Structure 1
Amino acid sequence: MEKDLADGIKNLSSSLNKHKVKYMFVGGVAISFYGSARPSSNLPRDIDYDIDVWYLATNENFVKLTKSIAEISPELEDELKKIIFDPKKTFIKFNLEGFHFDFLPNLVAFYRKDFDKCFGKKEIGEIDGVQINIISKEDLLLDKEKLGRDKDLADIENLKKNSYKGFSR
């Protein structure tokens, strides 16, 4: 994993953990954790990495999430306070220093009601002593199957071939 990406994941996780947000990394970060790194495609010119995070879509967790985001990106604080939370629709998207972040209240294969079940099966990675919550490989495969895009089908094949778990620098 590239140092900038590793530091971005570590810094975000540190803030999410500090605020006791219930979250899991999904998408490319989860794929990298399971040993099948695939860079995101079609990113805007000033964005190097796309980070997808599934969060427990409850009012309490959403407040914790917005506090965590405001901590890493203080210029968003006023905008975050204006969001009217809807557990089915409140996606938070923002860019910060070469990163694009998507905070998702649900995944294609899973809904809000499924979060706790999936959270109980999560893997815990670590970067420089910081805990990183990762969706389980089984649940990642289910989500990729539901998405069904060509790149997701390729991810499935690569994930099935790999038994590696963890981040490396």
Structure 2
Amino acid sequence: MIQLPKDFSEFLKLLNSKQVEYLVIGGWAVGFYGYPRATGDMDIWVSRSEENASKIVETMNEFGFNVPNLSPDLFTKENQVTRLGVPPIRIEILTTISGVSFNECFNNRQTVLMNEVNINIIGLEDLRKNKASAKRYKDLDDFEKLSG
């Protein structure tokens, strides 16, 4: 079983405690589905609703990411990426990914227990759709592995 770094576990616990709508995507999701690979971060995709955005800011503040003027507006806009920390313990919060919609993916999510934390992970078929549409070499490689 994959072991999460302590910072990732703590952040995910906070997201859950605040009832944030999120999905773990990217390399960590690929690893969950049986194809672990090196990754310098954990990618977390979030719903862009105003209520969810406010919960994300609360989570970040409680986690210790106290940035002046951190606003929920940052998490209601398309194509935003917010980075916390540095690789290999970096968390990236994304508001948009290619090929899929958040609400559909959230409804199809897998919830798994890792390090005593329930984690929302993008479903396999949705991850495949995302990887097929992303067009980066590593995403296409992930797609091939996930489709094999």
TM-score tier (shorter): 0.7 to 0.9
CA RMSD, 1 decimal: 2.2
Say if 2:65 and 2:84, in contact at 8 Å, map to a contact too. no
Size of the alignment, in residue pairs?
A: 148
Structure 2 residue aligned with 1:51, among 39, 42, 66? 42
Q: Distance in 1 between matches of 2:87 and 2:145?
A: 30
1:133 aligns with 2:124: no
Compared CA separation, residues 29 and 85, structure 1 to 2 (3 A): closer
Query: 2:60 matched to which residue of 1?
Result: 69
Residue identity in the other structure for 2:94: L
Residue identity in the other structure for 2:130: D
- Aligned pairs for 1:7-26 (under 5 A) are 7-26=6-25
Task: Give the CA deviation at 1:82.
Answer: 8.3
SS at match of 2:51: helix
Q: Distance in 2 between matches of 1:99 and 1:127?
A: 17
1:155 aligns with 2:142: yes
Query: 1:44 matched to which residue of 2?
Result: none
TM-score by length of 1: 0.77
Q: Distance in 1 between matches of 2:72 and 2:104?
A: 30
1:100 aligns with 2:90: yes
Say if 1:144 and 1:156, in contact at 8 Å, map to a contact too. yes
Identity among equivalent pairs (%): 28
Structure 1 residue aligned with 2:110, among 96, 115, 123? 123
Query: 2:38 matched to which residue of 1?
Result: 39
| Higher Cα Rg, which structure | 1
Q: Distance in 2 between matches of 1:31 and 1:61?
A: 25
Q: Distance in 2 between matches of 1:154 and 1:89?
A: 23
TM-score by length of 2: 0.87
Residue identity in the other structure for 1:155: D
Q: Distance in 2 between matches of 1:143 and 1:74?
A: 29
Could you tell me which runs of 5 or more consecutive residues in structure 2 were left unpaired when the two chains were aligned.
none
SS at match of 2:16: helix
Could you tell me which runs of 5 or more consecutive residues in structure 1 were left unpaired when the two chains were aligned.
41-48, 162-169
The structure whose RCO (Cα within 8 Å, separation 6+) is larger is 1
Query: 2:70 matched to which residue of 1?
Result: 80
Say if 1:73 and 1:96, in contact at 8 Å, map to a contact too. no
Query: 1:165 matched to which residue of 2?
Result: none
Say if 1:27 and 1:51, in contact at 8 Å, map to a contact too. yes
